[in-house]
Chain A
Amino acid sequence: MSIAHLTRPQRWDLPFDPEMDESDVASLLERPEIIAINAAAFPDHTPFAGILKNDTRIVHFKAGDIVVREGDYGNSAFLILSGKLRVIVGDYPDVLSGRNRTGKKGFFATISQIWTNTNIPEARNTEKLKLQAVRSGDSRGTRNSRQSNPTRVFVRDISAVLDECSTVQEGEGELFGELAALGRTPRTATVFAETDLTLLEVRWQGLREIRRFDDRFRRTIDRRYRQNALLVHLSETALFSNLDEEVLGRIAEATLFETYGTFEWHVSFQRLLSSGQRGVEHEPVIARQGDYADGLLMIRAGFARVAIEFGSGQRTLTYLGAGDTFGLEELYAAWKDGETVSLGASLSALGYVDILRVPAQVVEEYVFPEIASPPSKTVDGGNRAMAKDALLEWAVEERFINATKSMLIDLNRCVRCDDCVRACASTHGGNPRFIRHGKTFDHWMVATACMHCTDPVCMIGCPTGAIHRSEVGGTVVINDETCTGCATCASACPYNNIRMVEIRNKRGVSLVDPESNRPILKATKCDLCYANPGAPACVRACPHKALSRVDFQRETLVEGNLV
């Protein structure tokens, strides 16, 4: 696209809130927090007012409404316009979250599945469906539509919560939630409205633009990040773990933040794949093979590909996820021997990646004297047969790198008996939670079963928090009772692993929402049998060991077998 056509960001075709108008913007511009931002610094094609109009919206909460839940994934920041809210610090009652914290089924519950499983598809016990404190709204609709009557989960008894939990009160002018929005990390605390509340919700795109153009804002955001999150992150990294707080603070000060790739990679990547715009040559390069290593790169979020030049293309050695480092061996060798050492491989962004760059001098000064020689993690890619890496290359291209538990089926062993599907159904009341189809490569198939991604884009935007990450093992599960069937997660999942189903009662009659006359839908997906004793039923049930739940980075895939 030529620049001439790019008069404004394309996303503004779909504003965050279509009903945001000039008067709203005008009233916002009078607020001191907004005034503090230097509108003049914004370029013509992305004016600040435009950001306010298209990338923000004003949302109202009633007293008791839960604004965000701890552990949710969200990509908005909030500015309090009026009212007061409470941030819960520490433990809080389970009912405030939209999750169920049921543990594994007991012995009798497990055994009774033998006779309670039914052939009626998606039958639910309607008496037991406790309708949670969900104020029903227009449950359908995409993220972007304005909801005049939005669905909210609310706290029934505010004073009780205030008595039980320790909370921090925030008032007008406070900004919160920006770290989670920018960093694709879970919300760190549950926030609910104490009084009737008005918030300015800024979606991450707008937030990013403001940070980019307004120095003060950026410094504020960065300082908050450094103070709140970076120190913790660094101290949890093995490399820095035995440094004292003061040194860590200095390292934190010196660290640079970099972002590569598209934040919304999951929306477009399927399209790009089919149009041929894929492959390593289309990925943003973070570091190039042969360059001088000027800093230690640490992945904070997202994925990056490590590749070397091979033939006329690039050969993937591995991929890195959150917590991995790049360039450590080269820096250390350079420091030790006193010569410059160039990077042994290239690093490119897979979809989206947040990088922390710790400058080389800082590392050399504070870190290297304290540690022993780091173990060499380089994978010698040049000498392995190309066929051995083919599966990895394909997995990276298809973005299965996100997966911690992708369902990999060896088609040379699978006899298509469907025992795995039946086993899955047996642990879910007779309803299977995956389909034995999916993309294939040579004799491998990645079935459409939830892969429990490291970066769970499905979780962004769930209105009730029904889809959440279980505390044990990081399994992504959907709470059937609080799910409202809005299909946000299903449409977001780039691998099509979530399916909406019509639920029925025990006699097989479809349940219909009386107000909207539409069938009640629920989102369903593989939950790794987290509520059942034993490992996932599908793996146990395959008589030919054809099925495994795989993390592509951790498994060593030898041709023909999973080692």
Chain B
Amino acid sequence: MMDPNRFEFDRSAYERPNNTYVCGRGGEWRTPCRQGPSHDGTCGGVAGCKPYHNRDRWECRRAKAAGGPCENGPAPDGTCGYTQSPCVPRRTLRQHRWRISVIAPGLVVAALAAFTHLAGDVDVIAEIFRIGALDAGELTDKHAGFIGAQGCKACHSAHGAPPMVWLASAFSENDMSKACVGCHTFGGPVSAPHNAIFTAGKKVRQTECAMCHTEHKGHDANISDLSDRQCASCHEKPFTDFGKDHPDFSKQFPHFRRSSIKFSHASHLGKHFEDRTVAKGVPASCTTCHQAESAQRTVELLGFEETCAVCHADQIAKRKLVVLQLPEFDETDIDPQSVVELCGLNEDVEAEDDYESISSDEMSDISAYMMGLPSDDPGEYGTAFQELVMGMAEDGTTPLVEMLKGRVATVDLVQLLAGLNPEVTKRMACAWAFNLEYELPAEPAFGGWYGDLLELIYQPGGHADPVLMGWLNLAINAGGDSEEALGRAEKMRARLLSPKDGPGACIKCHAVTRDAADGPLRIEWRFHKDETGGHPSYSHRRHLGLVDPSGVKLADPNKGCTTCHRLDANADFEAGFKDYDPMTYSSNFFSIKKETCVQCHAQGHVRQDCRLCHNYHKEPAFTEKVTRNEN
């Protein structure tokens, strides 16, 4: 077999490795024939050779490799003497490989077909199998509970569609966000980054929910747990180190907007709290007023009663609201007789020939505004006012109500005149009708409406007096048709809203704000939770373990709250309240710099990933569909 004669050209024919068949006998490890199968797969070795008819004889044509022409030669009829039954040619390994390589993908296709559409419809098992070829993994528990009978179709609108529609949806953009919004809502457009409305003008890309939140990751996967990398796919500056890479905080952080109350920490901590006389009112520490222990970003304050009232409660009652003032009259139209009829006799009345107005004042700004009359021209206002007086003498409050009705809505009326006793107005009006000053029987020690001399006064009972609030709210946006009317409104406003002498001293502390450029003014009655400055969240509660403010004295500049909030004694705090723009503001405190945070939030220390402070979504919530109780 290793005989070199094996290589001779007439003993060794070409091997054809692309052959599809080999001799069957060889495949069974018997003796294979030399000829091998013919190319069409039939046995080629039935006969030893194919005898040739040469003139009148048959000659053997056996290949030399097989031994050359045989001794006996073919039979006289031309058949070869060495015949055997045909074998069944076997396929070569390469052929087998080809066939298996066709069958294997075929099996895959068959399995896919079986697992998508061809299984029965109703059976539970079939249902499992049916989506087997499409099953991409478990849903999170929360979503799985909401899918219900819809199944995959709840989010994938193409599921279950006819084949061509299903295929066509491969070429269209997906609309899964629509499905998400069925249950999830946000404070802004769903498809905008951060659910924000961008006004800068540059075209902002649309975002889809599935871009960041990928489902089918298992039943206990957290699909809202996103990484810095995902933030970095839009915010292109890559961050590895908060300290180095994050931009510095804004200059004003976190004091972008002035508070609603004009409380100057500098003056209080620096001056007022030093005053011995008010020692009992001085808070022990920052957290006496600021409820930081449970606060997240915004630290709520305790109310006026718990904090400021100790020192400031008295001041409120001292400032009174003068609603009506008896002005000077040139003449009187009041018939004394009718007065007597209404009011009874008054022994103080002196008969006089010449009328001399008891008052030499102007009309109060409020009444001037309300009646729409110039406050300094008796000729204009005289008659109307006297009518008012007579009306009050007769009816008590009715004419006042009438006067106000033209200017305010009914609801506000109640607030404006709450507590007004008709007795007060009548007796007062009677005195004025007699051209006398009205004299109180006693000191108005308990506040409320009372007339005094020439004025109808309201004295606030205490903080947050609703009547006063009503009048101030009325005054703040009072307007007029004409320039004169506007002027009167302006005067009324100026008087009521004066920080120094406005009634109730409300405006001494409460800021007046114009929110929008041409919008109305507003008095900030309540604590304003400042949400400017973007989304970053901060938890005071979590940090107080480090900067425990309890027990830290107010004055201590290094410990407690002042670790981050350092008092800036030189800031012009007052200036921020002089205009109506809440954003022009110099805080009492230095802004907080990034370096403060980096002490702990740095590479290798505490968490410093984006989502620690920044939220992506604006006010994420659920729709009614989710929260509604179906029962």
A and B: real partners?
yes
- Chain A neighbourhood of B14, CB < 8 A: 431-435, 499, 501
Tell me, in angstroms, the Cα distance from A490 to B7 when the chains sit together. Answer: 12
| Known interface pairs A119-B20, A508-B40; A435-B10 also in contact (CB < 8 Å) | no
- Chain B neighbourhood of A119, CB < 8 A: 16, 18-20, 39
- Chain A neighbourhood of B16, CB < 8 A: 119, 121, 425, 431-432
**Interface-located stretch among A345-353, A436-444, A463-471:** A436-444
A318 at the interface (CB under 8 A from B): no
- Chain B neighbourhood of A264, CB < 8 A: none
- Chain A neighbourhood of B15, CB < 8 A: 418, 421, 432, 435-436
- Chain A neighbourhood of B12, CB < 8 A: 435, 437, 448, 496
Tell me, in angstroms, the Cα distance from A432 to B14 when the chains sit together. Answer: 7
- Chain B neighbourhood of A498, CB < 8 A: 9
- Chain A neighbourhood of B38, CB < 8 A: 508
Main secondary structure of the interface of B (DSSP, over half): loop
- Chain A neighbourhood of B13, CB < 8 A: 499
Tell me, in angstroms, the Cα distance from A491 to B4 when the chains sit together. Answer: 15
Q: Which of B6, B40, B54 contacts A517 (CB 8 A)?
A: B54
Contact present for B17 and A422 (CB under 8 Å): yes
B8 at the interface (CB under 8 A from A): yes
B53 at the interface (CB under 8 A from A): yes
- Chain A neighbourhood of B198, CB < 8 A: none
Whole-angstrom distance between the Cβ of A191 and the nearest chain B Cβ: 31
Tell me, in angstroms, the Cα distance from A421 to B13 when the chains sit together. Answer: 13
**Quick one: which of A270, A432, A491, A496 has the most chain B CB within 10 A?**
A496
Tell me, in angstroms, the Cα distance from A508 to B40 when the chains sit together. Answer: 9
A37 at the interface (CB under 8 A from B): no
A334 at the interface (CB under 8 A from B): no
- Chain B neighbourhood of A435, CB < 8 A: 7, 12, 14-15
Whole-angstrom distance between the Cβ of A249 and the nearest chain B Cβ: 47
- Chain A neighbourhood of B7, CB < 8 A: 435, 437-439, 448, 496
Whole-angstrom distance between the Cβ of B107 and the nearest chain A Cβ: 27
- Chain B neighbourhood of A550, CB < 8 A: none
Contact present for B39 and A518 (CB under 8 Å): no
Contact present for B52 and A508 (CB under 8 Å): no
Tell me, in angstroms, the Cα distance from A439 to B8 when the chains sit together. Answer: 12
Tally of contact residues, A, Cβ under 8 A: 32
Q: How many inter-chain residue pairs (CB < 8 Å) link A and B?
A: 64
A39 at the interface (CB under 8 A from B): no
Q: Which of A418, A434, A496, A518 contacts B8 (CB 8 A)?
A: A496
- Chain A neighbourhood of B40, CB < 8 A: 508
Contact present for B39 and A496 (CB under 8 Å): no
Q: Which of B10, B18, B53, B54 contacts A500 (CB 8 A)?
A: B10
Tell me, in angstroms, the Cα distance from A545 to B10 when the chains sit together. Answer: 30
Contact present for B9 and A493 (CB under 8 Å): yes
| Known interface pairs A120-B39, A431-B14, A508-B40; A517-B53 also in contact (CB < 8 Å) | yes
Contact present for A425 and B18 (CB under 8 Å): yes
Return the chain B residue nearest A525 by Cβ.
B9
Q: Mark B8-48, 1 if CB is under 8 A from A, else 0.
A: 11101111111110000000000000000011100000000
Tell me, in angstroms, the Cα distance from A418 to B18 when the chains sit together. Answer: 9
A295 at the interface (CB under 8 A from B): no
Q: Mark B37-78, 1 if CB is under 8 A from A, else 0.
A: 011100000000000111000000000000000000000000
**Which chain A residues in 253-287 approach chain B with CB under 8 Å?**
270, 274
**Quick one: which of B9, B18, B39, B52 has the most chain A CB within 10 A?**
B9
A430 at the interface (CB under 8 A from B): yes
Contact present for A518 and B52 (CB under 8 Å): yes
Contact present for B17 and A421 (CB under 8 Å): yes
Whole-angstrom distance between the Cβ of A520 and the nearest chain B Cβ: 13
Contact present for B52 and A517 (CB under 8 Å): yes
Q: Mark B512-545, 1 if CB is under 8 A from A, else 0.
A: 0000000000000000000000000000000000
Tell me, in angstroms, the Cα distance from A183 to B160 when the chains sit together. Answer: 87
Tell me, in angstroms, the Cα distance from A102 to B59 when the chains sit together. Answer: 40
- Chain B neighbourhood of A274, CB < 8 A: 4
Tell me, in angstroms, the Cα distance from A421 to B18 when the chains sit together. Answer: 9
Whole-angstrom distance between the Cβ of A338 and the nearest chain B Cβ: 53
Return the chain B residue nearest A417 by Cβ.
B17
Q: Mark A406-431, 1 if CB is under 8 A from B, else 0.
A: 00000000000010011001000011
- Chain B neighbourhood of A439, CB < 8 A: 4, 7
Return the chain A residue nearest B8 by Cβ.
A496
Whole-angstrom distance between the Cβ of A426 and the nearest chain B Cβ: 9
- Chain B neighbourhood of A421, CB < 8 A: 15, 17
- Chain B neighbourhood of A497, CB < 8 A: 9
Tell me, in angstroms, the Cα distance from A74 to B54 when the chains sit together. Answer: 34
Contact present for A508 and B39 (CB under 8 Å): yes
| Known interface pairs A437-B12, A517-B53; A422-B18 also in contact (CB < 8 Å) | yes
| Known interface pairs A121-B39, A508-B40; A437-B18 also in contact (CB < 8 Å) | no
**Which chain B residues in 468-488 approach chain A with CB under 8 Å?**
none
Whole-angstrom distance between the Cβ of B91 and the nearest chain A Cβ: 13
Q: Which of B4, B6, B9, B18 contacts A490 (CB 8 A)?
A: B9
Tell me, in angstroms, the Cα distance from A437 to B20 when the chains sit together. Answer: 21
Tell me, in angstroms, the Cα distance from A431 to B13 when the chains sit together. Answer: 12
Q: Which of A436, A437, A501 contacts B6 (CB 8 A)?
A: A437
Contact present for A499 and B9 (CB under 8 Å): yes
Tell me, in angstroms, the Cα distance from A438 to B9 when the chains sit together. Answer: 12
Tell me, in angstroms, the Cα distance from A377 to B607 when the chains sit together. Answer: 75
Whole-angstrom distance between the Cβ of B19 and the nearest chain A Cβ: 7
Return the chain B residue nearest A418 by Cβ.
B17
Return the chain B residue nearest A119 by Cβ.
B39
- Chain B neighbourhood of A434, CB < 8 A: 14
Tell me, in angstroms, the Cα distance from A430 to B9 when the chains sit together. Answer: 20
- Chain A neighbourhood of B19, CB < 8 A: 119
- Chain B neighbourhood of A432, CB < 8 A: 14-17
Return the chain A residue nearest B20 by Cβ.
A119
Contact present for B6 and A500 (CB under 8 Å): no
Tell me, in angstroms, the Cα distance from A437 to B7 when the chains sit together. Answer: 8
Whole-angstrom distance between the Cβ of A231 and the nearest chain B Cβ: 41
**Which chain B residues in 391-439 approach chain A with CB under 8 Å?**
none
- Chain A neighbourhood of B54, CB < 8 A: 517
- Chain B neighbourhood of A438, CB < 8 A: 7
Tell me, in angstroms, the Cα distance from A421 to B7 when the chains sit together. Answer: 16
Return the chain A residue nearest B40 by Cβ.
A508
Tell me, in angstroms, the Cα distance from A518 to B54 when the chains sit together. Answer: 9
Whole-angstrom distance between the Cβ of B17 and the nearest chain A Cβ: 4
- Chain A neighbourhood of B20, CB < 8 A: 119
Tell me, in angstroms, the Cα distance from A120 to B40 when the chains sit together. Answer: 9
Whole-angstrom distance between the Cβ of B97 and the nearest chain A Cβ: 12
**Which chain A residues in 119-166 approach chain B with CB under 8 Å?**
119-121
Q: Sort A-B residue pairs by CB-CB distance and give the 6 closest, nearest first.
A: A418-B17, A496-B9, A490-B9, A496-B7, A499-B9, A496-B8
Q: List 26 A-B contacts (CB under 8 A).
A: A119-B16, A119-B20, A119-B39, A120-B39, A121-B16, A270-B4, A274-B4, A418-B17, A421-B15, A421-B17, A425-B16, A425-B18, A431-B16, A432-B14, A432-B17, A433-B14, A435-B7, A435-B12, A435-B14, A439-B7, A448-B7, A493-B9, A496-B7, A501-B14, A508-B39, A517-B52
Please name 5 further chain A to chain B contacts, defined as beta carbons within 8 Å, in addition to the given A418-B15, A421-B15, A434-B14, sorted by A numbering: A432-B16, A435-B7, A436-B15, A439-B7, A501-B14
Show the binding face of A for B, using Cβ within 8 Å.
Answer: 119-121, 270, 274, 418, 421-422, 425, 430-439, 448, 490-491, 493, 496-501, 508, 517-518
